[in-house]
């Protein structure tokens, strides 16, 4: 597997080495200009252990506003939950409820915390919210132990325990930016086939355990 790492550079540029060849990619550093960039722009950062602390703080707030009788579990997933992974600095959180549905009061409480409603998918029993004020968060609300719940956590656990797969995914992410797929739609589309096959391998791994 080719080695890949990031070295901070000047302004919005970083050197990424794939094999022995250094190449520049857009890389947004932690300053005031980053906060002013359009949200559809994709940037990647090395894994930061502070993301786990951010998740804990955010999940505590979510537990305080959602009915404790309904919330079975809350988990941190996605690339910010995987040590060693290159990630967009957006915390992915999934809430597992006893049944699918949100009350008007719960929706209002989420809005008060800064969460914007994005979509509801009855097909996969998932509400999707995001927060873009302060720490950025993507929030999924689903039924505990549903297919959506299991898939999110299986991919996380698979990448945590399979270094080769993790490095392959990092390379795909960097290649997406190098090839000019800099907004979230382009970036996600570029990765789609790889992520689908990765998901299949993760499910097979889960079924063999």
Over 144-203, what HEC string results? CCCHHHHHHHHHHHHHHHCHHHHHHHHHHHHHHHHCCCCEHHHHHHHHHHHHHHHHHHHH
Low-confidence residues in the chain, pLDDT < 70: 1-40
* CATH code assigned to 46-208: 3.30.460.10
**What would the pLDDT profile of 42-89 be if each residue is shown by its tens digit?**
989 999 999 999 999 999 999 999 977 899 999 999 999 999 999 999
pTM: 0.82
């Amino acid at each position: 597997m080719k080695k890949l790492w990031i070295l901070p550079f000047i302004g919005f540029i970083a050197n990424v080495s794939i094999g022995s060849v250094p190449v520049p990619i857009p890389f947004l550093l932690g300053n005031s200009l980053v906060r002013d960039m359009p949200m559809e722009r994709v940037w990647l950062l090395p894994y930061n252990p502070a993301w786990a602390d951010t998740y804990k703080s955010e999940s505590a707030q979510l537990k305080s506003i959602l009915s404790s009788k309904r919330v079975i579990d809350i988990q941190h997933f996605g690339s910010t939950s995987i040590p060693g992974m290159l990630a967009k600095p957006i915390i992915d959180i999934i809430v597992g409820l006893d049944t699918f549905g949100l009350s008007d009061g719960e929706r209002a409480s989420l809005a008060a915390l800064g969460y914007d409603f994005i979509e509801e998918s009855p097909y996969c029993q998932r509400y999707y919210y995001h927060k873009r004020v302060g720490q950025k968060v993507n929030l999924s609300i689903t039924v505990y132990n549903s297919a959506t719940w299991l898939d999110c956590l299986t991919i996380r656990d698979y990448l945590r325990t399979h270094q080769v797969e993790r490095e392959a995914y990092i390379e795909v992410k960097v290649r997406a930016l190098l090839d000019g797929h800099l907004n979230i739609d382009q970036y996600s589309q570029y990765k789609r086939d790889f992520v689908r096959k990765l998901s299949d391998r993760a499910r097979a791994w889960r079924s063999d355990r």
